[in-house]
Amino acid sequence: MNYQTQRFQFGLGPGMTQMVKTLILVNIGVYVIQNLFISFFDIDFNGLFGLVPVYFLYNLFIWQIVSYMFLHGSILHILINMLILWIFGVDLEREWGGKAFLKYYFVCGIGAGLIQILFNLLFFPENQGIPIIGASGAIYGVILAFALMYPERELTFLVFFILPVRIKAKYLAMILAGISLFSGVFGADNAVAHFAHLGGMFVGLLYLKFDWQMYSIAAQFQKRRENKHIIQQAKKRQKEEEIRAEMDALLDKINEVGYENLTEQEQAALRRASQYLNEEQ
């Protein structure tokens, strides 16, 4: 990946890309369904489709590792996540393409959920029955990727909707990671899956580095295949030239003395040359 270091002014860009738009619409749709079920039906929707470690590990509710990313706890929760997805995801999708961006988004979200489960098992066993919900793990992975792709891009935020603060993308990612780490270790708010935030960043970083290495390896093999193909084509052209030269010499001899005066070896060579050239056409 080409990590750009130019300075840019932060902005929402000319418009929303297709995959980002689809993710936002799906999240909003699921949020509406989630609240309808919670309000009008006697169903533990968050327990069924949120990521509940004890259900996921012991009851094999494996769909939860994906479905939890589309649930949110409040309008503010989904509003912030979708706004960040729009701001940071659009440029990444334009750079990578929709399919690659969607794959990265799910890799980060799934990895974030697994890491949060691991930390719950090791350090917070009392939280194993609490549903983990939200796209924040995937969103933090998107922020990490944006900071790697555009580290020097300046982002402008309005603190308390009044005070403008400008910060480079790379520093924003560091600050958010630091806040999540501090809150996860020392915070008392069990309602926020801080290690899922860190997990999304960590898995995103591993994925991007691994993908870059795989791209390099694949590029080397592709180059070798291309070189091999070039060599094979050169040998093929050389063989054709040699056969054509031999055939031209035999045809010249036929013009001089006639076909019947060719030796058996020359006649056989002429047939082989003719057959080879016909097959290559």
What is this structure's pTM?
Answer: 0.71
Give the residue-averaged pLDDT of 266-271: 78
Q: Per-residue confidence at 12, pLDDT binned at 50, 70, 90?
A: very low
Q: Name 65's bridge partners.
A: none
CATH of 18-221, one of 1.10.10.10, 3.90.79.10, 1.20.1540.10, 3.30.1950.10: 1.20.1540.10
Token look-up 């402008």 returns 156
Lowest mean pLDDT among 63-72, 166-175, 204-213: 204-213
pLDDT at position 221 is: 61
Residue 267 CA neighbour count, 13 Å, CB half: 7
Domain residue ranges in the chain: 18-221, 223-280
CA angle 79, 81, 85 (to 5 degrees): 115
- By the 10 Å C-beta count (0-12 exposed, 13-18 middle, 19+ buried), 57 is classed as middle
